[in-house]
C-alpha cells in the first residue's frame, strides 16, 4: 500500500505539502503505511470496522427504520496537527469561549453589549436560541457554556477559521475517544514514535468539571447524564460518557422534582441529584418553563435550577450565542469583552438582513454557501458551486422573504486528507471539532478533536447524517518524540 | 440504583434465558425426532405448547410441521418469544443500560445479537444442531462474562433473580407439557423408545448427565423429583427459587426468612413450600395441578417485583434528605 499515486489536486492537504512531501511530523506515518504489505492496510481497516460494529459504536439515522443502526464510517489514516499549529488553536478557542460566555451572561442580565449597539438588540432577542425564562439567571460561577465543540476549517492557504460555535449540546467526543482506542490497537508502534498527545483523560476531566458545579456543599455530589433515550441519534455517546464517568444515565422519566429538589427514582426510593449533564434541548427540559408539550421533560426543573438547587451543564439559553446571525458578530464580541483581536478568524460572513450584504449574496449565489441560521447538521443549506439553477432560485426567494434567517459565506476550498478507497488513497475534505471544557478553575481544550470527513468525492458536507465519516486526530507533542528509526526498528510490533 | 436500570437488567437476563431455553427445546426435540422414525410431525405441536404461544402459532401457521415450528420459534419477528425476538429485546434492554453493565457484557450481548441477525438473514438451516449449540453457548458466555466482570451488587442480583425466575418457569412448562405426552409409555418402561423419549426430556433441560449421576435408571417419577425438587441441579425449580431468594435478600437487605414487601413475601412463601414438599404429595394432588399452580405463583412473584422495585410511587416512598456537609 503506497501513497505514490496520491494527488493533492491543488488543495491544502493535511498530510502532504504542495510538492507531495509529507508535512513535518507526518513522514513517519507515511513511511510506515508505505512499508505495509499489499492489502494489509485494508485488512486493518476491515478489522477496525468489525470492532466498531461489535462494540455497537453506532448511530441512528433519523427518518430511517428504527432498526437501522450504522457505524459512523471510520477511516484508518489519521489526520496530523503540528504542535505549533495546535498552540495557536488552543489559545484562540479559549479566547473565543471566554468572550462568548461573557456575551451570554450579559444578554440575559445587564445587556450592556446591546445598549452599546455592538450587536443589534433586535437580532439577539429574535434569535431562535434566546430563552426568555433565562433572563436574570445567575449560573454558578457565571459560567453558562461548560462544554463546547467548535467547528474549525482550513482553507486553501492552510489558515484555520471558526465555522460554527456549538454551544448547546455538541456531540461527537465519544468518537474521538473510540477512534483513538481503535488506532492504538491498529498502529501501536507508530503511535508511540510519533508522540501523540493523549485524549483518554477527557471523561475524568469532564466529571471533575461537572462535580465542581454542585450547588450543595456535599462531599460526593451526584452527577447524572440526561439522555432523551435510546432512539436519540447520539445515544451511544450519552451512555458512553456516563459509563466512562461512572455516573447514572437518566431519562426524563427517571427524574422528578420533590420538595424543590431534583430527585431520581431508584429501587430504594428517591435520591437527590446535584448536577445534570443534559444532552437534551432547552425546549424539552421542562414543560412548565419551555415547550408545554414536551413528554421528555421534568416539570419544575427550571424552578429548582433558578433557585440554585441543581446545576445544569450547559445552562439553558446558551443557544443565543450559537445563532448563525450572532456568529457574524463574534469578532466584535471578543473585542468588546476582552479588548483583544480574535486569534482564530471567523469565515467572512454576509448577513442577509444587511441590505448591501443581501444584494451581494443574491448576485453571487453560485459562489457562496448559504445557511439558514436556525438549522444544523448540514440541513437547510445551499452549496452554490454544487447547486442547480432551480435550487438557487428557490433560495433567492427564501432569502428575500426572510432575510433575518440567512447568512452566506464564500465557498471555502476546505483542506483535504487522504482516505483509503479500496486499493488506493484519495483526497477528501475535512473539518475539525475540538472540545472545550469550561470549569470554575480553568479552561481545558482536548488536544485533538473530531476530524470529520466528507466521504463523497468532492463533497464539502461532513455531517454524519449526510454521508460523513471520521478519522483520528493526532496532535503531536512539541518535542517531536523519538526518531523514525527507532519505530521502524521493530517490524513486528507496528 | 435507578428503577429503570434495574428493570432493564432484570429483563435482559430473562430474555437471554428464554432464548437459551427455546434453543435447547428445539435441539432436543429435533434429535429425538431423528431417533424415532415416523414420529417427527407429532413432536412439534407439544413443543409450541411448551412456550405458551400456541394460539399465536395457530393463527400464523395452522398445522405444526418441523419447518414452520422451527421458523416460528427461532426467527419469527411476529412471535415475541422467538429466539430472534428474545435476543433483540435483550439487546435493546442492554443498550439502555450500557453505561451500567460492563463493556464486556455489552460486547458479548451485541455479538450474540449480530450472530442471530446474520443467521436470520441467511436462514440456512443446514446445521441446526450447531446453530442451537451456538445460541446456548452465547447465553452461557453471557452469564460467565457477567459473573466475572460485573460487581456482584444490586444490579447483578436483579439480573440473576430475573434469570432464575425465568428458568424456574421454563422448567415447569417443559415438564408439564412433556410429562403428559410421555405418560402412556410408562407401561413400556424399559423399552428402547421409552428411554429415548424420557432421555430427550432430560436433555431439553440439560439434565441428562446430571440425572444419571444422581438417580441412574430412567424413572419418570425420579425425573420429576430431579427437575422440580433437586436442591443442587441448576435448572431444577427448587434450586432456581433458592437462588432467586438469595438475590432478593441481597437487594433488600432483609434477613433470610423475613420480608419487608410483597415481592419478598410471595417468593419466600413459594420457596418454603418447595423446601418442605414431597414427591408423594405432589403426585397425590396431581402433577399438572402442582406445576400449573407453581407457574401462576412464579408469575405473581414477577408481578410483585415489577410493582415493588421498578415502578416506585413518589407518594409511597418518602424522600430521605441527605445530610448537608
pLDDT score at B298: 97
* In the predicted structure, residue A468 carries a pLDDT above the cut 70: yes
Regarding whether A296 and A227 lie in a shared domain, the answer is: yes
Domain for residue A358, yes or no?
Answer: yes
Average pLDDT over residues A273-288: 94
* pLDDT band with cut points at 50, 70 and 90 for residue B30: confident
Regarding whether B256 and B162 lie in a shared domain, the answer is: yes
* In the predicted structure, residue A348 carries a pLDDT above the cut 90: yes
A270 vs B317: CB contact, 8 Å cut-off?
yes
pTM of structure: 0.84
Domain for residue B322, yes or no?
Answer: no
Domain for residue B2, yes or no?
Answer: yes
* pLDDT band with cut points at 50, 70 and 90 for residue B312: low
The CATH code of the domain that includes A405 is 3.30.1490.270
Of A240, A254, A261, the CB nearest to B2: A254
Regarding whether B228 and B143 lie in a shared domain, the answer is: no
Average pLDDT over residues B46-62: 90
Domain for residue B316, yes or no?
Answer: no
Regarding whether B174 and B94 lie in a shared domain, the answer is: no
B320 or B225, greater pLDDT: B225
In chain A, residues 383-412 whose CB comes closer than 8 Å to chain B: none
Q: How far apart are CA A207 and CA A212, in angstroms?
A: 8
pLDDT score at A487: 43
Of B4, B99, B154, the CB nearest to A251: B4
Query: What distance in Å separates residue B242's CA from the closest CA in chain A?
Result: 22
In chain B, residues 278-297 whose CB comes closer than 8 Å to chain A: none
Structure confidence by residue, pLDDT tens digits, B117-155 = 888 887 665 667 889 999 999 999 999 999 999 999 999
A480 or A318, greater pLDDT: A318
Regarding whether B198 and B145 lie in a shared domain, the answer is: no
A270 vs B314: CB contact, 8 Å cut-off?
yes
Q: With contact defined as beta carbons under 8 Å apart, do A197 and A476 qualify?
A: yes
Domain span at residue A385? 348-411
pLDDT score at A491: 38
Which of residues B150, B165, B193 is at a domain's end? B150
* In the predicted structure, residue B314 carries a pLDDT above the cut 80: no
Regarding whether B275 and B290 lie in a shared domain, the answer is: yes
Structure confidence by residue, pLDDT tens digits, A173-221 = 999 999 999 898 888 888 878 889 999 999 999 999 999 999 877 788 9
Which of residues A411, A432, A455 is at a domain's end? A411
* In the predicted structure, residue B318 carries a pLDDT above the cut 60: no
Average pLDDT over residues A379-400: 90
Domain for residue A367, yes or no?
Answer: yes
SS (HEC) of chain A: CCCCCCCCCCCCECCECCCCCECCCCHHHHHHHHCCCCCHHHHHHHHHHHHHHHCCCEEECCCCCCCCEEECCEEEEEEEECHHHHHHHHHHHHHHHHHHHHHHHHHHCCCHHHHCCCCCHHHHHCCCCCCHHHCCCCCHHHCCCCEEECEEEECCCCCEEEEECCCCCCCCHHHHHHHHHHHHHHCHHHHHHHCECCCCCHHHHHHHHHHCCCCCCCCCCCEEEECCCCCCCCHHHHHHHHHHHCCCEECHHHEEEECCEEEEEECCEEEECCEEEECCCHHHCCCCCCCCCCCCCCCCHHHHHHCCCCEEECCCCHHHHCCHHHHCCHHHHHHHHHCCCCCCEECCCEECCCHHHHHHHHHCCCCEEEEECCCCCCCCEEEHHHCCHHHHHHHHHHHHHCHHHEEEEECCCCCEEEEEECCEEEEEEEEEECEEEECCCCEEECCCCEEEEECCCCCCCCCHHHCEEEEEEEEECCCCCCCHHHHHHCCCCC
The CATH code of the domain that includes A241 is 3.40.50.11290
Which of residues B150, B173, B208 is at a domain's end? B150
pLDDT score at B38: 64
B232: three-class secondary structure by DSSP: coil
Structure confidence by residue, pLDDT tens digits, A87-117 = 999 999 999 999 999 999 999 999 999 999 9
Structure confidence by residue, pLDDT tens digits, A22-81 = 998 898 889 888 888 888 889 989 988 888 888 777 766 655 444 556 778 899 999 999
Chain A within 8 Å of B319 (Cβ-Cβ)? Answer: yes
Domain span at residue B97? 1-150
pLDDT score at A58: 72
Domain for residue B319, yes or no?
Answer: no
Which of residues A309, A337, A366 is at a domain's end? A309
Which of residues A289, A309, A329 is at a domain's end? A309
Regarding whether B159 and B114 lie in a shared domain, the answer is: no
| Smallest CA–CA distance from A55 into chain B, residue | B107
Regarding whether B178 and B119 lie in a shared domain, the answer is: no
pLDDT score at B160: 98
A283 or B197, greater pLDDT: A283
Count CB pairs under 8 A between chains A and B.
Answer: 95
Mean pLDDT of chain A: 89
* In the predicted structure, residue A280 carries a pLDDT above the cut 70: yes
Q: What percent of chain B has pLDDT over 90?
A: 59
Q: What percent of chain B has pLDDT over 70?
A: 89
pLDDT score at A464: 72
Average pLDDT over residues A465-480: 84
pLDDT score at A377: 63
Query: How many structural domains compose chain B?
Result: 2
Amino acid at each position: 500500500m503506497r501513497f505514490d499515486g496520491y494527488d493533492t489536486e491543488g488543495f491544502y492537504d493535511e498530510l502532504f505539502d504542495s510538492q507531495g512531501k509529507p508535512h513535518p511530523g507526518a513522514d513517519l506515518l507515511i513511511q510506515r503505511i508505505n512499508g505495509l504489505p499489499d492489502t494489509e492496510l485494508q485488512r486493518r481497516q476491515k478489522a477496525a470496522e468489525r470492532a466498531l460494529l461489535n462494540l455497537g459504536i453506532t448511530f441512528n439515522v433519523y427518518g430511517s427504520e428504527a432498526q437501522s443502526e450504522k457505524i459512523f464510517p471510520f477511516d484508518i489514516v489519521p489526520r496530523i496537527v503540528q504542535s505549533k499549529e495546535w498552540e495557536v488553536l488552543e489559545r484562540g478557542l479559549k479566547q473565543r469561549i471566554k468572550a462568548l460566555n461573557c456575551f451570554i451572561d450579559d444578554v440575559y442580565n445587564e445587556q450592556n453589549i446591546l445598549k452599546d449597539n455592538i450587536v443589534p438588540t433586535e437580532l439577539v432577542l429574535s434569535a431562535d436560541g434566546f430563552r426568555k425564562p433565562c433572563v436574570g439567571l445567575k449560573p454558578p460561577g457565571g459560567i453558562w457554556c461548560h462544554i463546547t465543540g467548535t467547528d474549525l476549517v482550513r482553507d486553501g492557504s492552510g489558515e484555520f477559521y471558526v465555522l460554527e460555535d456549538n454551544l448547546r449540546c455538541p456531540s461527537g467526543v465519544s468518537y474521538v475517544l473510540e477512534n483513538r482506542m481503535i488506532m492504538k490497537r491498529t498502529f501501536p508502534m507508530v503511535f508511540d514514535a510519533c508522540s501523540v498527545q493523549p485524549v483518554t483523560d477527557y471523561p475524568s476531566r469532564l466529571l471533575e468539571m461537572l462535580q465542581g458545579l454542585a450547588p450543595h456543599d456535599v462531599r460526593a455530589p451526584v452527577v447524572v447524564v440526561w439522555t432523551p433515550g435510546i432512539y436519540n441519534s447520539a445515544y451511544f455517546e450519552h451512555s458512553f460518557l456516563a459509563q466512562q464517568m461512572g455516573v447514572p444515565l437518566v431519562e426524563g422519566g427517571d427524574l422528578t422534582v420533590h420538595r424543590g429538589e431534583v430527585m431520581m427514582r431508584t429501587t430504594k426510593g428517591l435520591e437527590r441529584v446535584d448536577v445534570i449533564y443534559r444532552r437534551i434541548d432547552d425546549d424539552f427540559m421542562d414543560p412548565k418553563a419551555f415547550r408545554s408539550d414536551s413528554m421528555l421533560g421534568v416539570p419544575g426543573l427550571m424552578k429548582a435550577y433558578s433557585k440554585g438547587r441543581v446545576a445544569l451543564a450547559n445552562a439553558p439559553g446558551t443557544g443565543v450565542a450559537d445563532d448563525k446571525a450572532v456568529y457574524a458578530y463574534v469578532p466584535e464580541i471578543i473585542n468588546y469583552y476582552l479588548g483583544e483581536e480574535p486569534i482564530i478568524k471567523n469565515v467572512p460572513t454576509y448577513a442577509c438582513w444587511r441590505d448591501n450584504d443581501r444584494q451581494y449574496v443574491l448576485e453571487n449565489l453560485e459562489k457562496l454557501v448559504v445557511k439558514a441560521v436556525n438549522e444544523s447538521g448540514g440541513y437547510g443549506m445551499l452549496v452554490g458551486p454544487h447547486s442547480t439553477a432551480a435550487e438557487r432560485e428557490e433560495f433567492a426567494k427564501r432569502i428575500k422573504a426572510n432575510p433575518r434567517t440567512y447568512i452566506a459565506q464564500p465557498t471555502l476550498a476546505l483542506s483535504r486528507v487522504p482516505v483509503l478507497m479500496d486499493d488506493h488513497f484519495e483526497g477528501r475534505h475535512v473539518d475539525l471539532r475540538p472540545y472545550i471544557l469550561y470549569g470554575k478553575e480553568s479552561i481545558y481544550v482536548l488536544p485533538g478533536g473530531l476530524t470529520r470527513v466528507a466521504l463523497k468525492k468532492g463533497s464539502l458536507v461532513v455531517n454524519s447524517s449526510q454521508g460523513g465519516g471520521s478519522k483520528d486526530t493526532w496532535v503531536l507533542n512539541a518535542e517531536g518524540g523519538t526518531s523514525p528509526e527507532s519505530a521502524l526498528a521493530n517490524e513486528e510490533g507496528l | 440504583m435507578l428503577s429503570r436500570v434495574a428493570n432493564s437488567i432484570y429483563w435482559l437476563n430473562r430474555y437471554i434465558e428464554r432464548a437459551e431455553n427455546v434453543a435447547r427445546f428445539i435441539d432436543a426435540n429435533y434429535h429425538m425426532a431423528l431417533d424415532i422414525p415416523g414420529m417427527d410431525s407429532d413432536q412439534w405441536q407439544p413443543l409450541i405448547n411448551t412456550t405458551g404461544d400456541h394460539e399465536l402459532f395457530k393463527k400464523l401457521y395452522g398445522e405444526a410441521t418441523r419447518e414452520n415450528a422451527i421458523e416460528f420459534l427461532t426467527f419469527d419477528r411476529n412471535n415475541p418469544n422467538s429466539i430472534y425476538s428474545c435476543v433483540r429485546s435483550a439487546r435493546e434492554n442492554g443498550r439502555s443500560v450500557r453505561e451500567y453493565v460492563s463493556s464486556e457484557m455489552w460486547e458479548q450481548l451485541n455479538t450474540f445479537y449480530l450472530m442471530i441477525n446474520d443467521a436470520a438473514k441467511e436462514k440456512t438451516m443446514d446445521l441446526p444442531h450447531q446453530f442451537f449449540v451456538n445460541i446456548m453457548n452465547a447465553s452461557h458466555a453471557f452469564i460467565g462474562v457477567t459473573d466475572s466482570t460485573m460487581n456482584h451488587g444490586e444490579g447483578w442480583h436483579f439480573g440473576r433473580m430475573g434469570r432464575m425466575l425465568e428458568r424456574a418457569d421454563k422448567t415447569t412448562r417443559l415438564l408439564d407439557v412433556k410429562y403428559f405426552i410421555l405418560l402412556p409409555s410408562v407401561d413400556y418402561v424399559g423399552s428402547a423408545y421409552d428411554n429415548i423419549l424420557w432421555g430427550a426430556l432430560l436433555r431439553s433441560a440439560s439434565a441428562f448427565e446430571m440425572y444419571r449421576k444422581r438417580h441412574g435408571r430412567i424413572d419418570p417419577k425420579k425425573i420429576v423429583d430431579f427437575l422440580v425438587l433437586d436442591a443442587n441441579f441448576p435448572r431444577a425449580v427448587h434450586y432456581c427459587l433458592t437462588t432467586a431468594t438469595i438475590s432478593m435478600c441481597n437487594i433488600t437487605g432483609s434477613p433470610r426468612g423475613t420480608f419487608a414487601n410483597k415481592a419478598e413475601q410471595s417468593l419466600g412463601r413459594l420457596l418454603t413450600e418447595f423446601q418442605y414438599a414431597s414427591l408423594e404429595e405432589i403426585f397425590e394432588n396431581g402433577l399438572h395441578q402442582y406445576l400449573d399452580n407453581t407457574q401462576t405463583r412464579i408469575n405473581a412473584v414477577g408481578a410483585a417485583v415489577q410493582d415493588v422495585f421498578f415502578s416506585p410511587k413518589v407518594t409511597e416512598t418518602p424522600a430521605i434528605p441527605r445530610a448537608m456537609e
